[in-house]
Amino acid sequence: MLVAPIFQILLFAYIGRSAHLRSDEFYVIGNALQYASIPCLFAMAQSVGGERYQQTLGAILVSPAPRIPLFFGRSLPVVLNGAFVSAFALVAGSLILGVHLPASSLAPLALVVLIASFSCTGLGLMNAALSLRIRENAVLSNAIFGFLLIFTGANVPLDALPGWMSTAAQGMPFTHAIAAARKLAAGASLGDVGGLVGAELLVGAIYGLAGYGLLRWFEVQSRRHATLERS
């Protein structure tokens, strides 16, 4: 979890060097933030899929426990874990490649990293809901990771992508956070990137609410058919 993002950063940074595309800073920031998707997607999927595999999900769903704290409470450790992985990759990648980040940018960058992790955890909640219908969710999680790697501007600038891809990226986690982090590293203040940070928060909230709604709908369907096994 902590070693893999460093190798991802090094891979794309050296590709960028050999092709004379972008600076090391571009790839360190993009890949460090984007790699938070691994813990966010897989851990959230496991929070539901694991309960299903252990045959304890039914007992949870028939309990009178409020659903909002039940599901969103499980997302808090995921957000913190994703933020830690991303922050570690950012620090380690910067030290290895000699990328200098202004001291004034560190606190705003920490906030952006946390918000990026929150945003992807919202998508992870949708991914977790699909665990009720997909027997092997790891394949879907890996596919989503690949889309986020390509679409969000982590390694390819959005203006270099086809128009439909850059448009679709606006509704994905990390896109706005990565752009905000790069501006902060270039010397911008938190106020200068407030719009990007707000957009990232909005994306995460929409995915989180959609994931919660999907979980509730699958729960209703399971009650109606008296089974969780409908995949």
Please tell me the predicted confidence (pLDDT) of residue 216.
86
pLDDT along the chain (231 residues), means of 10: 94 95 96 97 86 71 74 89 98 97 96 98 93 83 97 96 96 98 97 98 97 88 68 55
pTM for the model stands at 0.93
Please tell me the predicted confidence (pLDDT) of residue 145.
98
Please tell me the predicted confidence (pLDDT) of residue 173.
98
Please tell me the predicted confidence (pLDDT) of residue 50.
73
Please tell me the predicted confidence (pLDDT) of residue 155.
97
Which residue in 121, 94, 89, 87 sits closest to 8, CA to CA?
89
